[in-house]
């Protein structure tokens, strides 16, 4: 598929829009449908589209695999870290109310941060799964 001009051009135009939409779903998730999980999957679908059109090697240049491995663990670490931070500040585990000046502000902040963690983990794991499978496809 790497030599198909139409696919290459469309992918080039579409990928940034998909990533932008993923970021919108991520950070607007508390006002509109969506959230970390959906955003992560949409983000990874942009990378999948890119690597389906331009080949696995180009995608690996874009995002090396070690970054994905770090990202997958980092997301869970952020999530757990928010829980620990709220414990240090005197609340229960994952009680975001103590994070901000008022309980509502703290809740809002906590939700945004943990959604970010979810998004990073899901996006990294999905792309990592695809790369792991795609590496086994024998070259034509």
Partner 1 sequence: MSLVVNLVLLVFLLVMALAVLKTRHLFAMAMLFGLYSLLVAGLFVVLDAPDVAFTEAAVGTGISTVLMLVTLASIKDGHELISTQKSRTAPLIICVLMGGLLIYGTHDIAELGEVESAPHTQVAARYIGKGKEETGVPNLVTAVLASYRGFDTLGEVTVVLTAGIGVLMLLGSRKKIRIRKVSNGK
CB atoms closer than 10 angstroms to residue 22: 22
Among residues 6, 13, 33, 101, which is the contact residue for partner 1, using CB under 8 A? 33
Query: Distance between CA 2 and CA 108 in Å, rounded?
Result: 44
Among residues 11, 42, 54, 99, which is the contact residue for partner 1, using CB under 8 A? 42
Query: Distance between CA 74 and CA 51 in Å, rounded?
Result: 23
For 90, the token pair is 């005197």
Nearest distance from residue 16's CB to partner 1, in Å? 17
Binding-site size, partner 1 (CB under 8 A) = 52
Contact call for residue 121 and partner 1 (CB under 8 A): yes
90 Rama class: left (phi>0) / alpha (psi -120 to 50) / beta = left
Contact 68, 59 (CB under 8 A): no
Interacting residues with partner 1 (CB under 8 A): 25, 29-35, 37-38, 41-42, 44-45, 48, 52, 69, 72-73, 75-76, 79-80, 83, 94, 96, 103-105, 107-108, 110-111, 114-115, 117-118, 121-122, 124-126, 128-130, 132-138
């Amino acid at each position: 598929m790497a030599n198909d001009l139409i696919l290459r051009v469309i992918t080039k135009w579409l990928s940034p829009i998909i990533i932008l939409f993923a970021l919108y779903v991520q950070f607007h998730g508390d006002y509109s449908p969506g959230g970390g999980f959906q955003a992560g999957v949409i983000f990874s679908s942009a990378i999948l589209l890119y690597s389906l059109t331009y080949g696995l090697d180009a995608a690996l240049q874009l995002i090396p695999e070690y970054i994905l491995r770090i990202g997958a663990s980092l997301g869970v670490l952020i999530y757990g870290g928010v829980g620990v931070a709220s414990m240090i500040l005197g609340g229960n585990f994952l009680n975001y109310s103590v994070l901000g000046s008022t309980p509502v502000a703290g809740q809002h902040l906590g939700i945004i941060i943990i959604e970010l963690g979810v998004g990073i983990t899901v996006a990294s794991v999905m792309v990592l799964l695809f790369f792991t499978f795609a590496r086994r496809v024998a070259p034509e």
